[in-house]
Structure 1
Amino acid sequence: MAAQNTATTDATQVDPSHSPTGRQWLALSVLVLSQLAVWLDNTVLNVALKTLADPTEGLGASPNQLQWSISSYTLVFAVLLFTGGVLADRYGHRRLLLTGMVLFGVTSAWAAYAGSATELIVARGAMGIGSALIMPATLALIAQVFDERHRATAIAIWSGSSGIAIATGPMLSGLLLDHFWWGSVFLVNVPIVVLCVAGSFLFLPGVVTRVRQKFDPLGVVLSTAGLFAIVWGVIEGGHRNDWTDPAIVGSLAGGVALVVVFVLVELRVANPSFDVRLFRDIRFTGASVAVMLTFFGLNGSMYYTSFYLQGVHGQTPLECGLSIAPVALGVLLGAPLSAKLVRAYGVRPVVTAAMLIATTGFIAYVFLDETSGLPLFWVFLILQGLGMGAAVAPTTEAIMAILPADRTGAGSAVNNSLRQIGGVLGVAVLGSVLVSVYRDQVTPRLGGLPSGAADSAAESPEATRLLGAKMRLPRLSDIADEGFVHAMHVASVVGAAAAAAGALIIWWGFRRTSSGARSSM
């Protein structure tokens, strides 16, 4: 297939061949702020769920509607990242970033003023479309703005924004809910969008790739449909806590089949939406899988951490957000430090050590109980953040270094898509472990209750505590706390195992240290 050559530039194009200038740092600030808005929206809603369930103060959302108000955003975001990367490579990264930011801002306002839970779910899905256009463009633009000497540092700063969002999202949400109505957690995105749009015109290069790849609609459809089916199956399987349900099994099997067909199709087309041949490079595969496993552990641990702090320790949403903040400190320390360490020692030892540090942070949850003090908990969070920050930036740089210049949009889409998929899997899998272990742990201790009440109480710690309050049985609150802590211990072991697997994959995948060497699958 023929490719159309273009060389479109504008006055905002920067020269990456010299030491970074003030203009380049401003360009990076715009890209980091753009990604920060996307990551914030992954975290702010968790604190607002209780308010949204209130029929007076919120929307009277049911538990299932609350789950899908979170999942609709992540689901659409994850499955459309491939498409966003392809469109960015074809039509220009700055153009797609601007389109995504405008769409993200408009749909954030829509979500803020949603009149029902169903409307909120739809609006959140639309926000996911905007995010899917933003994320691939930000990483690809970093590759345009910075040369190889400074790109690792820029990517480290860019990667650190995700950790900042993980910590500040709950705090920001709690602060807003203390003073404004629930829609403010979405409306806060609008001024961020305005700043990013203005900064994009002023500081980002408007260059369009010199090789306009022919659009691959079949690849886009297959990848989107396959990922949608897999992610939907994982999310819904976690909601139902029944992985043998025919709908769940069919969705997962169908999704895997579509992804296999996608790979076969992409191997046969001249201009694929993503060149799956890149996965023949063991370093590329190892880095991609390690990124996914990192976010599997982190997102899963943040899920049960919120319940631990608010349920077992009785913290308010704002207090919970403040207690999670140390993870951001770890990310801020780990991300820039890793860039220096990689230059001195290479990717393999640095990222392997980082993944093992993260593993330690996850497994350390087994030492927490109902009476554990916060300082010990904060140390564990710092370890998680330090490991994540030091692992994600070098692996992301390794992924981008292998990509051809005109494929950075699609390549960064793979990177970001795997982050989201890892996060979705982490919450779904570790959440399912949490639910099933909790039920098995507390059910024998509820034998003295009427059968209907016992079944209801075993569904979740919140249900157990609620029944205890209604029946004036304070021992049920103790049962809930003890059962949850045990379930959290089991889930943390699973999360730690995923991080440890990531360390092994990195050590294996980067076993050839020569920068020019490549390994084949």
Structure 2
Amino acid sequence: MTTTTTGSGASRRGMAVGAEHPRYKWIALSNTTLGMLLATINSSIVLISLPAIFNGVHLNPLEPGNVSYLLWMLMGYMLVTAVLVVTLGRLGDMYGRVRIYNAGFALFTVTSVVLSLDPFDGGGGALWLIGWRVLQAVGGSMLMANSAAIITDVFPAKQRGTALGINIVAGIAGSFLGLVLGGLLAEWNWRSIFWVNVPIGLVGTVWAYRSLRETRSRVEGRIDWWGNLTFAVGLTALLAGITYGIQPYGGHTMGWTNPWVLAGLLGGVAVLAAFCLIESRVAEPMFPLRLFRITAFAGGNAASLLGSIARGGLQFMLIIWLQGIWLPLHGYDYERTPLWAGIYLLPLTIGFLAAGPLAGALSDRFGERLFAAGGLLVMAASFAGLLLVPSDFDYWVFAALVFLNGLGGGLFAAPNTAMIMSSVPAKLRGAASGMRATFQNAGMVLSIGVFFSLMVAGLARSLPQTLETGLTAQGVPESAAHSIAELPPVGTLFAAFLGYNPIQQLLGPQILDALPAANAETLVGRSFFPNLISAPFHDGLTIVFWLAIAMAVVGAVASLIAPRADRPERPGTPG
């Protein structure tokens, strides 16, 4: 085993304190929390800013040929982080967690500069952004994979829940804060969505290289090349298949009959099965399957996956609900709905920030399982409340329910992470941290595929008839109304998600100019499309929220079955 030296603060130029200093753990927590915040903000800042980004590169995302650009801009970052975090966590165990973490901060900052300099228009501009976002996600994965392991190494068990609570709350809160920040910056300049990372990234990178130290012996070992390859190929194929399954194919509303989608899904599962076989036989696996024999680790990760899918589904559905229906009905222009959607979702962030650190501290004293399970049950209750809210809701009722959902997420996040990380041997914390992040990030990608598919299925039952009836009532020729009604519902869903009014684009100037002025004005106004889509959307929303309730309840049960006996390091010192 190769041992790294820790040394004192005086042994490295610019070091304020050494790794053995009592203040060092707080320095490590501060920097890794900044890194997690930066990495997760970028998973959602683009989400709310897509209309501005596509306008900036002069690309219409609603044209059928451009849907793939939209999906990869939306999901590419999350897919890459889901695939790479385990490998990068294992590399942290072998070559130094701080070394991999610091390199991630630097890479993330450099790619942010390159993204803001996109020199192309149209498809070329979109491909530039997608490609460099993928590389940026590599840097983000380095941060995500090693931050929890660095914190677990330096904090004693009695403070670990509090420390991980602050870090994890910052990470998940970043995905909420990105919505508001993206909305604000998109109003100014679409390139500022990437500029904002640069000063924070520079400060964080310099600070990390000057202050963070390796505090634990590295684990000698070899890279599990076959495991890495089969995991990357299998998970990428599976998640990409789910991504493309959302798109229409061969006259169907979705692409689940597309041979390439089926090949991705079935092939991905087969390759992942081969991966599990390889990992059970190699001496030094990248994904130590034996960790799943620890019930706290297995139950915690199952709960994390289910909670992540439920939370991700909620985020997307609420954005569509606000941008496509509620805000236009209340007088907001479509161009400004992304900004106001972020603002009106602030109670979600506030609830999460209020509960997260407190739950981490209390779980140190009273145990993690009840807090983790209770948080998911609170989330389930908020989903049930949202089921009862009409499409044109009273905002204060809506705000109370999304605050409750954020509160539940905050109660769950830190205790769940502490339960997972405290249950594993110290030498495998990097791999365990990566595995935890993989389940969480994969859950976000799965949520898009699962919830969008369910929503489209719900819309497909009632939207075509509703759309055709509404258009003909305003004088649109029956042939044109029928053609529009037969279009795949996913286009309507993306329009609502992006803050577009699709009626004007679908009808076109030729039909609109032929209609009476009052009818044309009604069709392209702020209330026609929201009123038209609200009932079919609510049908789809019912399916989505029932599934989210089921996932949250099952996740709560998974949290409760993890016994305290699996945690050999409580109480004690780091290690």
TM-score, structure 1 as length reference: 0.91
Q: Does the alignment pair 1:308 with 2:339?
A: no
Match of 1:495, SS state, is: helix
Instruction: Give, in whole Å, the separation in 2 of the partners of 1:301 and 1:227.
Output: 23
Match of 2:286, SS state, is: coil
How far apart are residue 517 of structure 1 and its match?
Answer: 8.6
Letter in 2 for 1:226: G
Instruction: Give, in whole Å, the separation in 1 of the partners of 2:60 and 2:111.
Output: 21
Q: Which residue of 1 aligns with 2:535?
A: 482
Q: Which residue of 1 aligns with 2:546?
A: 493
Instruction: Give, in whole Å, the separation in 1 of the partners of 2:101 and 2:317.
Output: 33
Instruction: Give, in whole Å, the separation in 2 of the partners of 1:58 and 1:145.
Output: 49
How far apart are residue 88 of structure 1 and its match?
Answer: 1.1
Q: Which residue of 2 aligns with 1:186?
A: 194
Q: 1:124 to 1:272 in 2, by over 3 A?
A: same
How far apart are residue 212 of structure 1 and its match?
Answer: 1.9
Q: 1:411 to 1:262 in 2, by over 3 A?
A: same
Match of 1:376, SS state, is: helix
Match of 2:433 among 400, 403, 412: 412
Q: 1:441 to 1:209 in 2, by over 3 A?
A: farther
Instruction: Give, in whole Å, the separation in 2 of the partners of 1:468 and 1:135.
Output: 46
Instruction: Give, in whole Å, the separation in 2 of the partners of 1:71 and 1:234.
Output: 11
1:173-223 deviation digits (Å, cap 9, x = unpaired): 1221222x2111012111111111122123322346343222211111121
Q: Which residue of 1 aligns with 2:307?
A: 294
Match of 1:173 among 182, 193, 204: 182
The residue correspondences of 1:363-374 to structure 2 (distance < 5 A) are 363-374=384-395
Q: Does the alignment pair 1:375 with 2:396?
A: yes
Instruction: Give, in whole Å, the separation in 2 of the partners of 1:456 and 1:464.
Output: 12
Q: 1:378 to 1:152 in 2, by over 3 A?
A: same
The root-mean-square deviation of aligned C-alpha atoms, in Å, is 2.3
Match of 1:6 among 3, 6, 15: 3
How far apart are residue 164 of structure 1 and its match?
Answer: 2.4
Instruction: Give, in whole Å, the separation in 1 of the partners of 2:488 and 2:141.
Output: 39
Match of 1:43, SS state, is: helix
Match of 1:148 among 131, 145, 157: 157
How far apart are residue 416 of structure 1 and its match?
Answer: 0.5
Letter in 2 for 1:351: A
Q: 1:516 to 1:66 in 2, by over 3 A?
A: closer
Q: Which residue of 2 aligns with 1:40?
A: 41
Instruction: Give, in whole Å, the separation in 1 of the partners of 2:59 and 2:69.
Output: 10
Q: Which residue of 1 aligns with 2:555?
A: 502
Instruction: Give, in whole Å, the separation in 2 of the partners of 1:197 and 1:517.
Output: 34
Letter in 2 for 1:92: G
Q: Which residue of 2 aligns with 1:15?
A: 20
Q: 1:137 to 1:476 in 2, by over 3 A?
A: closer
Q: Does the alignment pair 1:66 with 2:67?
A: no
**Counterpart contact for 2:376–2:408, Cα < 8 Å:** yes
The residue correspondences of 1:504-519 to structure 2 (distance < 5 A) are 504-507=557-560, 509-510=561-562, 512-514=563-565
Q: Which residue of 1 aligns with 2:168?
A: 159
Match of 2:243, SS state, is: helix
Letter in 2 for 1:25: W
How far apart are residue 145 of structure 1 and its match?
Answer: 2.1
1:311-357 deviation digits (Å, cap 9, x = unpaired): 11225222111111111222122222223443444333222211100
How far apart are residue 496 of structure 1 and its match?
Answer: 1.7
**Counterpart contact for 1:233–1:248, Cα < 8 Å:** yes
Structure 1, 83-92 or 243-252: larger mean CA deviation: 243-252
Letter in 2 for 1:78: A
Letter in 2 for 1:47: I
Q: Which residue of 2 aligns with 1:452?
A: 483
Q: Which residue of 1 aligns with 2:498?
A: none
Match of 1:395 among 409, 416, 420: 416
1:110-140 deviation digits (Å, cap 9, x = unpaired): 2222221111111111111111111111111
1:395-433 deviation digits (Å, cap 9, x = unpaired): 111111122212111110000111110111112111111
1:265-289 deviation digits (Å, cap 9, x = unpaired): 1122221112101112222111001
Letter in 2 for 1:201: Y
How far apart are residue 160 of structure 1 and its match?
Answer: 0.7
Instruction: Give, in whole Å, the separation in 2 of the partners of 1:454 and 1:149.
Output: 60
Instruction: Give, in whole Å, the separation in 2 of the partners of 1:205 and 1:487.
Output: 50
Structure 1, 95-104 or 207-216: larger mean CA deviation: 207-216
Letter in 2 for 1:409: G
**Counterpart contact for 1:468–1:476, Cα < 8 Å:** no
1:70-114 deviation digits (Å, cap 9, x = unpaired): 211111111111211121111111111111111111112222222
Match of 2:487, SS state, is: helix
Q: 1:205 to 1:494 in 2, by over 3 A?
A: same
Match of 2:96 among 71, 74, 92: 92
Instruction: Give, in whole Å, the separation in 2 of the partners of 1:418 and 1:457.
Output: 31
Instruction: Give, in whole Å, the separation in 2 of the partners of 1:150 and 1:28.
Output: 12
Letter in 2 for 1:436: A
Instruction: Give, in whole Å, the separation in 1 of the partners of 2:110 and 2:2.
Output: 34
1:463-484 deviation digits (Å, cap 9, x = unpaired): 7644479463545542212222
Q: Does the alignment pair 1:438 with 2:459?
A: yes
**Counterpart contact for 1:308–1:485, Cα < 8 Å:** no
Letter in 2 for 1:290: A
Instruction: Give, in whole Å, the separation in 2 of the partners of 1:86 and 1:343.
Output: 27
Match of 2:295 among 282, 290, 294: 282
**Counterpart contact for 1:83–1:220, Cα < 8 Å:** yes
Match of 1:134 among 110, 131, 143: 143
Q: 1:304 to 1:425 in 2, by over 3 A?
A: same
Instruction: Give, in whole Å, the separation in 2 of the partners of 1:27 and 1:516.
Output: 24
Match of 2:128 among 108, 119, 127: 119
Q: Does the alignment pair 1:245 with 2:250?
A: no
Q: Which residue of 1 aligns with 2:80?
A: 76
**Counterpart contact for 1:92–1:207, Cα < 8 Å:** no
Structure 1, 153-162 or 359-368: larger mean CA deviation: 359-368
How many positions carry a matched residue from both structures?
Answer: 507
Select the structure of larger CA radius of gyration: 2
Letter in 2 for 1:189: N
Structure 1, 163-172 or 338-347: larger mean CA deviation: 338-347
Moved over 6 A (4+): none
**Counterpart contact for 2:294–2:566, Cα < 8 Å:** no
How far apart are residue 460 of structure 1 and its match?
Answer: 1.3
Identity of aligned residues (%): 28
TM-score, structure 2 as length reference: 0.83
**Counterpart contact for 1:350–1:390, Cα < 8 Å:** yes
**Counterpart contact for 1:108–1:127, Cα < 8 Å:** yes
Q: Which residue of 2 aligns with 1:107?
A: 111
Instruction: Give, in whole Å, the separation in 1 of the partners of 2:216 and 2:27.
Output: 20
**Counterpart contact for 2:423–2:568, Cα < 8 Å:** no
**Counterpart contact for 1:90–1:213, Cα < 8 Å:** yes
1:335-381 deviation digits (Å, cap 9, x = unpaired): 22223443444333222211100111223221222321211111111
Match of 1:371, SS state, is: coil
Letter in 2 for 1:503: A
Match of 2:212 among 189, 199, 204: 204
Instruction: Give, in whole Å, the separation in 2 of the partners of 1:337 and 1:60.
Output: 45
**Counterpart contact for 2:296–2:566, Cα < 8 Å:** no
Instruction: Give, in whole Å, the separation in 2 of the partners of 1:305 and 1:468.
Output: 27
Q: 1:5 to 1:464 in 2, by over 3 A?
A: closer
Structure 1, 343-352 or 419-428: larger mean CA deviation: 343-352
How far apart are residue 163 of structure 1 and its match?
Answer: 3.5
